[in-house]
Amino acid sequence: MEFDIRGTFLHGTPFGSGHIHDTYLIETTGTDGRKYIFQRFNSNVFKDIQKVQDNISRVTVHLRNKLAAIPGSDPDRETLTIIPARDGRLWITGTDGNQWRVFLYIPRHKSYDLVGSPERACEGGRMVGRFQALLSDLGDPPLHETIPFFHNSVKRLETLFEKVREDSAGRVKMVLNELSFVEERAGNMTKIHNLGREGKIPVRITHNDTKFNNILFDEETGKALCIIDLDTVMPGHVHYDFGDAIRTAANRGSEDDTDLSKVEIDLSIFRAYTTGYLSEIKRYLNETEIEYLPFAPLVVTFIQGVRFLTDFIDGDKYYKIHHDMHNLQRARAQFKLVQSMEKHYEEMAGIVGEIIRHTKGKSE
Ligand code: ADP
Ligand code: GN1
Ligand code: MG
């Protein structure tokens, strides 16, 4: 075994419901019964594993140091831990060219594709807010940009229309309604990106993939434990983290629901998540950041739909899929969620305003 793990390999099973890497839970026989997460790294999505692992290493060491100073904390369960190779490298390349990396398995956790309750949503929000707060003093040099233009809505739209022109899988004729939906809204959905370019909202260290199942909860207490999937932690705007969390947590249906009547924004989950999130981060945010928080879920959900639609048109090269129509089904569900958010936008803005007035901690 090239990785520095304890015990001897017992067995491995495919694990989790991520869309990017091939993830396995590895059990060992040994002195302490530790388990490990092995991942066959997706080098089509992330072109430079060195940058990804360097970022994760810096971020997890920083978090671990901060957590160690908090009485009662358990850094082995509250942040990811990279298990290096025996020669110290943070990943290995197998003889077949596949790249592999290993993390300590976080025991006694639960994760949820659907949030289930306002209490859990509030906990999730708190966890993401705290993550951003704990990383606010990471310092120089800036983290690597592991996927360039990841949340850049202008680029995402350009890529969609490039793929439409190429029509390499002959699928454009199947998505004309979805393309009209995108065209009608495209102009509005670059607002947050433009605020960033104008310097009205700052660049901070953000997670950038705050899908609800990337938060692990303690099996016993139900409290949020750890935020995982740190591949895209890099400079970004808080809106993308808030927006992606609401996209996944406050949806009454699932990300790929075939029953679009189920796909609706759940305002009680929205309120609970926002309450938890702002309790940790409000004091860091400027007025423009706060003003555009309610708009963030619309942008992120719209762009997620654009990304699924692009992959469908491009012949399913990016996301793992379970059947031929999966990316289209996902795009349709995202666009339905956008419509629901549009309908309830004033209520979402009202809820953010109320929580801001009632949350302690001044905005800067
Ligand atoms: P992807 O980018 O494919 O989503 P993730 O890094 O999120 O990959 O891992 C996929 C799944 O594996 C997670 O959703 C989670 O269920 C599980 N997982 C990943 N890392 C750990 C860990 N250190 N401890 C426990 N479970 C983990
Ligand atoms: C991917 O890795 P995972 O499954 O948590 C994707 C996110 C998307 C999400 C949609 C690196 O997240 O950006 O929002 O699927 N990750 C990457 O479910 O593209
Ligand atoms: Mg994941």
pLDDT at position 356 is 96
pLDDT digits (tens, 9 = 90+) for 250-308: 999 999 999 999 999 999 999 999 999 999 999 999 999 999 999 999 999 999 999 99
For all residues of the chain together, what is the average pLDDT? 95
CA of 262 to the centre of ligand 3 (A): 23
Q: Residue 33: which pLDDT band, with cuts at 50, 70 and 90? A: confident
Burial 138-166 (b: 16+ CB within 10 A, else e): beeeebbebbeeebebeebbebbeebbee
pLDDT band at 361 (very low <50, low <70, confident <90, very high): low
Atom 15 in ligand 2: which residue has the minimum CA distance? Answer: 19
pLDDT at 11 over 90: no
User: Which atom of ligand 2 has the smallest separation from the CA of 46?
Assistant: 11
Over range 168-190, report the average pLDDT.
98
Q: What is the pLDDT of residue 363?
A: 45
Judge whether residue 32 has pLDDT over 80. Answer: no
pLDDT per position as a tens digit, 86-131: 999 999 999 999 999 999 999 999 999 999 999 999 999 999 999 9
CA angle, 223 then 16 then 28, to 5°:
90
* 118-363 has the same fold as 8-107: no
5 confidence band (pLDDT: 50, 70, 90): confident
Q: Are 82 and 53 in contact (CB under 8 A)?
A: yes
- The residue nearest atom 8 of ligand 2, judged by CA position, is 209
Residue 231 is predicted with a pLDDT of 98
pLDDT in the model for residue 306? 98
What mean pLDDT comes out for the span 348-356? 97
Instruction: For ligand 1, atom 5, name the residue with the nearest CA.
Output: 229
pTM of structure: 0.95
Residue ranges per structural domain of the chain = 8-107, 118-363
202-229 pLDDT per residue, tens: 999 999 999 999 999 999 999 999 999 9
Pick from 48, 211, 299, 304 the residue to mutate for probing ligand 2's pocket: most ligand atoms within 8 Å of its CB: 211
Q: Are the C-beta atoms of 87 and 177 separated by less than 8 Å? A: no
Comparing 32-41, 102-111, 189-198, the range with the smallest average pLDDT is 32-41
For residue 214 and ligand 1, the question of a CB distance below 6 A is answered with: yes
Q: List pLDDT tens digits, range 43-87.
A: 999 999 999 999 999 999 999 999 999 999 999 999 999 999 999
CATH: 3.30.200, 3.30.420, 1.10.287, 1.10.10. Which one for 8-107? 3.30.200
pLDDT at 31: 62
Can you tell me the mean pLDDT for 314-319? 98
| 311 — pLDDT class (breaks 50, 70, 90) | very high
pLDDT score, position 1: 67
pLDDT of residue 29: 81
Stretch 160-184: mean pLDDT, rounded?
98
Q: Which atom of ligand 1 is nearest to the CA of 20?
A: 3
Q: How far is CA 86 from CA 3, 5, 11, 32, in A?
A: 5, 9, 21, 19
Q: Specify the CATH superfamily of domain 118-363.
A: Aminoglycoside phosphotransferase (APH), C-terminal lobe (3.90.1200.10)
Q: Is 326 in the pocket of ligand 2 (CB under 6 A)?
A: no
Of 59, 98, 104, the C-alpha closest to 84 is: 104
